[in-house]
């Protein structure tokens, strides 16, 4: 079901409603043909064809863990950005890219080991005997994850092993059912192979190697089982899954789910977000939480500064093109007719830009050589996805300003569907991004 009919040329994906888990197929994951930019954090954030293909694992015959799938170690060389320590963030072993900026109760990180998870909860005050309140942990990963011996592994397609699987609009409930089925298939494969399972590791040069591991069945767990076990150890945490596609904008229903989880949390509640590397989706979650906090405390509508401030996206357009495209001011303004909401979104984005600035990412340019296929096409695809993300964050700030005083009586999905000119604004912005990129190809 669609929230609103799509006019010609529009991308209905940003307004699609999530179907119920009862009607969803159990496994509809597709391989991304591009490497996650988080997987290439040690290089420029470019979309590469997510190869090379690795051989099929002999005897692999599951429904989810099938002959075209592999289990890849989540934490790869270079995933952690040591620059975080330069900004005062303490390193936590097993918790890549952990940060707790500006002494807030917001935390972000990549998928942790079980030891890293314990350490993060302890750092937030939610460990056994800790002084903080129960933590709220929100996992934003859309791809299936499983833990073996306390280490996270993700399901990948062997033909595109460096790209995350995608299943846009999958529900958290359905995804967790798939993870439980994956756990059962791992155990079944090990039983057929004298207790061993084939796993894949990534080396520093991006090559994948296969190894075999002798399994302890008690140490094969889903993420939810990991959190259940930690609660039995005295850690105080509630765990939630809000699946978002890697390097994509959250869908409107994802915003609604995050509002539901965040709006009534006491200010002292630690709120912890993770994705794979702790970069794009995690940063987006932290920005959304900060905007919800601003709405709750009345900081979302500050008095505007006496001097007019040009929209920051337009500044980047002008700087990047040497002032050649000054007419893009109208394009930037089309993001929102509410400058306060625009500034609120930009302010939140800048507060949590330790790993990625969600606004500047729209205009990041791919190098002239390196990617497989067409660099121009890859750059446009990434720019479009990042643009949708920024676009919806600005719209979400405007929604919060209007709906927070009313107790969120109208969900974001319905609010977005009623916005006039939504598609026109987004299409105009996409044309502007393409124009910006074409300036470098000339």
pLDDT digits (tens, 9 = 90+) for 324-358: 333 333 444 455 556 566 667 777 777 666 556 66
* Residue 418: HSE in the Cβ half-sphere, 13 Å Cα cutoff: 7
Q: How far apart are CA 378 and CA 381, in angstroms?
A: 5
Decide if 355 is inside a domain. yes
Structural domain total, the chain: 1
252 pLDDT exceeds 80?
A: yes
Contacts of 30 (CB under 8 A, 6+ apart): 165, 166, 167
- 303 vs 46 pLDDT, higher one: 46
Q: How far apart are CA 442 and CA 440, in angstroms?
A: 6
What pLDDT is stored for residue 270 in this prediction?
A: 96
332 belongs to a structural domain:
yes
pLDDT in tens, 386-440: 777 887 888 898 899 899 999 999 999 999 898 876 666 666 666 665 655 555 4
Query: Measured between alpha carbons, how far is 122 from 130 in angstroms, rounded to an integer?
Result: 7
pTM, two decimal places: 0.79
Domain assignment present for residue 370? The answer is: yes
Cα-to-chain-centroid distance, residue 120: 19
Instruction: Determine whether 222 is exposed, middle or buried from the number of CB atoms within 10 Å of its CB (0-12, 13-18, 19+).
Output: buried
**What is residue 263's DSSP assignment?**
T
- State which residues form the domain around 316: 307-441
Is residue 371 domain-resident? yes
Residue 363 DSSP symbol: G
Instruction: Record the tokens describing residue 258, joined without a space.
Output: 């995050």
Assigned domain for 412 exists: yes
Taking the C-alpha atoms of residue 112 and residue 256, their distance in angstroms, rounded to an integer, is 26
- Give CA–CA dist 376/365, Å, rounded: 9
Contact between 123 and 92 (Cβ < 8 Å) = yes
SS3 99: strand
Phi, psi (deg, nearest 5) at residue 397:
-60, -40
pLDDT confidence of 88, banded at 50, 70, 90?
Answer: confident
125 upstream amide cis, omega within 30 of 0: no
- Please report which helix (H) or strand (E) contains residue 42, including its range: none
With the C-alpha atoms ordered 59, 63, 69, 74, is the resulting torsion angle positive or negative? negative
Coil, helix or strand at residue 107: strand
CA distance 257 to 277: 22
CB 200 within 8 A of CB 72: yes
Report the SS3 class of residue 167: coil
User: What's the CA gap between 396 and 342, in Å, rounded?
Assistant: 10
Q: How far apart are CA 257 and CA 375, in angstroms?
A: 35
> For the segment 278-319, what is each residue's pLDDT rounded down to a tens digit?
888 998 999 999 999 988 887 764 422 222 233 444 454 455
What pLDDT, on a 0 to 100 scale, did the predictor assign at position 386? 75
Sequence-ordered alpha helix ranges (H) in 193-279: 223-232, 252-262
In a domain, 219, yes or no: no
Q: Which residue has the tokens 């200010």?
A: 267
**pLDDT band of 176, cuts 50, 70, 90:** very high
Cite the beta strand spans of 74-185 per DSSP E: 106-110, 135-141, 145-148, 151-157, 165-166
- What mean pLDDT value characterizes the chain? 76
Which of 53-67, 165-179, 388-402 bottoms out in mean pLDDT, i.e. has the lowest?
388-402
For residue 210, what are the CA distances in angstroms to 57, 190, 198, 207, 241? 9, 15, 7, 10, 29
Would you say residue 350 lies in a domain? yes
Give the pLDDT confidence score for residue 429 in this predicted structure: 63
Across-strand partners of 220? 148
Pair 89, 101: CB distance under 8 Å: yes
Adjacent-strand bridge partners of 138? 240, 273
Give the Cα separation of 224 and 436 in Å (integer). Answer: 44
In a domain, 31, yes or no: no
């Amino acid at each position: 079901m669609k929230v609103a009919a799509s006019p010609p040329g529009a991308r209905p994906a940003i307004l699609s409603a999530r179907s119920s888990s009862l009607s969803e197929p159990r496994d509809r994951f597709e391989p991304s043909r591009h490497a996650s930019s988080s997987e290439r954090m040690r290089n420029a954030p470019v979309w590469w064809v997510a190869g090379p293909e690795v051989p099929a694992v002999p005897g692999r015959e599951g429904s989810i863990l099938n002959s075209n799938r592999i289990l890849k170690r989540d934490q790869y060389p270079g995933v952690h950005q040591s620059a975080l320590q330069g900004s005062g963030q303490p390193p936590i072993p097993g918790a890549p890219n952990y940060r707790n900026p500006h002494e807030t109760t917001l935390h972000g990180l990549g998928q942790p080991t079980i030891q890293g998870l314990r350490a993060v909860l302890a750092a937030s005050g939610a460990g056994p005997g800790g002084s903080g309140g129960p933590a709220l942990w929100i996992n934003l990963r859309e791809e299936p994850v499983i833990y073996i011996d306390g280490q996270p592994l993700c399901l990948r397609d062997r033909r595109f092993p460096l790209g995350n699987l995608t299943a846009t609009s999958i529900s958290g409930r359905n995804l967790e059912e798939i993870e439980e089925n994956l756990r059962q298939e791992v155990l079944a494969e090990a039983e057929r192979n004298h207790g061993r399972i084939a796993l894949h590791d990534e080396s520093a040069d991006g090559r994948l190697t296969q190894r075999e591991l002798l399994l302890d069945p008690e140490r094969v767990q889903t993420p939810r089982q990991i959190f259940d076990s930690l609660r039995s150890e005295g850690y105080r945490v509630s765990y939630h899954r809000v699946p978002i596609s890697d390097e994509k904008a959250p869908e409107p229903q994802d915003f609604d789910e995050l509002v539901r989880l965040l709006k009534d949390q006491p200010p002292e509640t630690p709120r912890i977000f993770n994705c794979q590397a702790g970069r794009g989706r995690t940063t987006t979650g932290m920005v959304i939480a900060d905007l919800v906090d601003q709405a709750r405390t009345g900081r979302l509508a500050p008095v505007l500064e006496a001097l007019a401030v040009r929209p920051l996206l337009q500044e980047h357009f002008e700087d990047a093109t040497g002032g050649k495209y000054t007419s893009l001011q109208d394009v930037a303004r089309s993001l929102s007719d509410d400058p306060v909401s625009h500034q609120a979104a930009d302010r939140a984005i800048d507060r949590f830009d330790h790993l990625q600035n969600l606004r500047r990412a729209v205009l990041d340019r791919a190098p002239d050589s390196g990617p497989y296929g067409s660099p121009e096409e890859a750059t446009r695809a990434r720019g479009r996805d990042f643009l949708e993300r920024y676009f919806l964050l600005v719209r979400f700030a405007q929604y919060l300003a209007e709906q927070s005083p009313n107790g969120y009586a109208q969900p974001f999905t319905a609010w977005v569907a009623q916005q006039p000119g939504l598609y026109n604004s987004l299409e105009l912005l996409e044309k502007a991004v393409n124009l910006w990129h074409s300036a470098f190809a000339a």
